[in-house]
Structure 1
Amino acid sequence: MAGRSLMRRIAILAIVCLLLRVPCLAKGEQLTLFTEEYPPINYSEAGRASGLGSAIVSEIMRRAGIQASIEVVPWARGYRTVLTTPNTGLFVTARTPQREAAFRWVGPLVRTQGMLYGRRGDFPLISVLEDAAKVDKLAVPRDWYLQQILENAGFKNLHFVVTPLKALQLLHLGRVALVAIDDVNLEVTARELSVDASEFVPLYRVAESHHYLALSLGTPEPVVQACRKALETMKADGTLAQLYRRWLPGVAPP
């Protein structure tokens, strides 16, 4: 009877929190959010997370009244942590059918084109996606949605890297034939390599993708709903568009 009474009280508390739109994290708890080196959307600056995605997510947390920390880590580490750890999140995360049931989604925050790039003057002809499976090496960031798409298409020539920067570096040095990264990464990443972005030629669009804040399945429902509501208010009052003008001028929010 005591156990049944306790479960009833927990259920009532959850309902009350949902009705009041109050995030239900235990006292002293906070969300731990992860992102990656993915400029200009996310990157570390003076030891802190910066970029468009970080600015959007920080404002979501502020409006929702949720305590959260943001850590910049290798994507694969953050991805695997959020799959198994309650009260965690990962951004910006492409929402794909393969990932749909693995996370609680808040967004979209960003829209990108997943592209195959080659090196100017030395690139294979890519008329259909299957042509890219025939090259010697294709570099792709580990556990990205593009890796999952290419693996599902039967690719056996993938060379996994930690960041888009490493992928483009290998392409620049001629150590891989192709890279698979998002279009928003190209100019900033080429600048980090001190290389003109025109060296890298877009050869094939793999997918258009919408990227979200992906919260762990163990995140309480009221927290998820509070985050979604906060993003909607940001769209309605122009804050999201304002952040885009700062970080991606000329690009409209999704």
Structure 2
Amino acid sequence: MNGRRRQIALLLGLALVDPATAGVDLRILSVDEPPTNFLVNGRPTGFVVEVIERLEQDLGIHAPIETVPTPRAFSYLKREANVLAITFGKTPEREALGIHFLGPITTRNQIVWIPKGKALKISSHVDIASQKLLLGSPVGDWRTQYFKDRGVRVDASSSHAMDLRHLQRGMIDLCAMSDLEFPYVARAAGVDAADFEPAYVFAQATQGYIVFSRSTPVETIERWERAFKELQKTDFFDKTARKWSSPESPLRYSRSMGFYRER
């Protein structure tokens, strides 16, 4: 084989390499949202992180999981190829961006929380807006925009843990968080979960997904989908749910719901 033919063969071979197989081009992003994906001593952990690590192992990938702020994760999802991120809800705005959703990986009830015993009469966003109450919710979180769009005053914070600390100190009137994450966030914030109570559920059975950026090759996404479906045939998800379950937050898994808190 002469030099030119060897060069053409090499280029053709490189063109056939799937990023999901090589693992070189795939970037895996996580936001800090316990208990699904968060940092402990600088290391990503959480039951969705464990799913990603197992899928990487099954696919022969060795890409590190990077924890970034939610707005930055969305910036990468919108403008770059070969980006995977965890864990995100499906909204019309995100679907319009061409983001691909794999899952569901979680199902949660979305709740407005208030200090226990506080005399607030609220059962909808209309009540919150009419009483001019201040709600805490993180920057980039879909719940933040949800309440802003409905005329609620929102204190955009850096994390759910900060929201709970602010709520405890009386700096805000309420905050928005799911039933799945609340006990873990309270623990991380160093506050007693018993000091708060739900005011009302504003969105039932919302689902979270593993997501891929709009420019990620279809072949890459399909490989992850196949690996995910194969993993569902094993007892991995049930074992992971039992591992992360606790008396205050009993965790279960089903194919239709992903991980969810047993009521």
TM-score interval, smaller chain: 0.7 to 0.9
User: Helix, strand or coil for the counterpart of 1:188?
Assistant: helix
1:70 corresponds to: 65
1:144 equivalent in structure 2: 141
Tell me the SS of whatever aligns to 1:117: strand
- CA-CA distance at 1:23 after TM superposition: 3.4
> In 2, Cα distance between the equivalents of 1:220 and 1:66?
16
Unaligned 5+ segments in structure 1 are 1-5
Counterparts of 1:156 and 1:205, CA distance in 2: 16
How far off is 1:223 after superposition?
1.0
Residues 1:189 and 2:185 are matched in the alignment: yes
Specify whether residues 251 and 27 from structure 1 end up closer, same or farther in structure 2 by C-alpha distance, changes over 3 A only.
closer
* 2:172 corresponding residue in structure 1: 176
Tell whether the 8 Å contact from 1:31 to 1:67 is kept in structure 2 after alignment: no
Match of 1:3 in 2: none
Identity, % of aligned positions: 24
Bigger drift between 131-140 and 227-236 goes to: 131-140
- Cα 1:192–1:25 change in 2 (3 A) is closer
Q: Which residue of 1 is the match for residue 260 of structure 2?
A: none
Q: Do the aligned partners of residues 123 and 140 (structure 1) sit closer, same or farther apart at CA in structure 2, a change above 3 Å counting? A: farther
> Which residue of structure 1 aligns with residue 40 of structure 2?
45
Partner of 1:166: 162
Cα-to-partner distance string for 1:108-162 (whole Å, 9 max, x where unaligned) = 111111110001122521122311223331111112121232233x224011111
User: Within 2, Cα distance between the matches of 1:112 and 1:26?
Assistant: 33
Whether the 8 Å CA contact 1:24–1:223 is kept in 2: the answer is yes
Higher relative contact order (CA 8 A, sep 6+): 1
CA distance in 2, matches of 1:74, 1:113: 23
Give the whole-Å Cα distance in 1 for the aligned partners of 2:23 and 2:187: 42
Tell which deviates more after alignment, 24-33 or 66-75.
24-33
Structure 1 vs Structure 2 CA RMSD: 2.4
Structure 1 residues 70 and 28 mapped into 2: Cα distance closer, same or farther (>3 Å)? Answer: closer
Q: Which residue of 2 aligns with 1:239?
A: 236
Q: Say how many residue pairs are matched.
A: 238
Provide the TM-score with structure 2 as the length reference: 0.82
Contact 2:21–2:61, Cα closer than 8 Å, also in 1: no
Q: Which residue of 1 aligns with 2:54?
A: 59
User: Partners in 1 of 2:23 and 2:180 — Cα distance?
Assistant: 37
* Cα deviation code 1:182-206 (max 9, x no counterpart): 2222112222233221111111112
The whole-number CA distance in structure 2 between the counterparts of 1:236 and 1:205 is: 33
Whether the 8 Å contact between 2:114 and 2:197 is mirrored in structure 1 is: yes
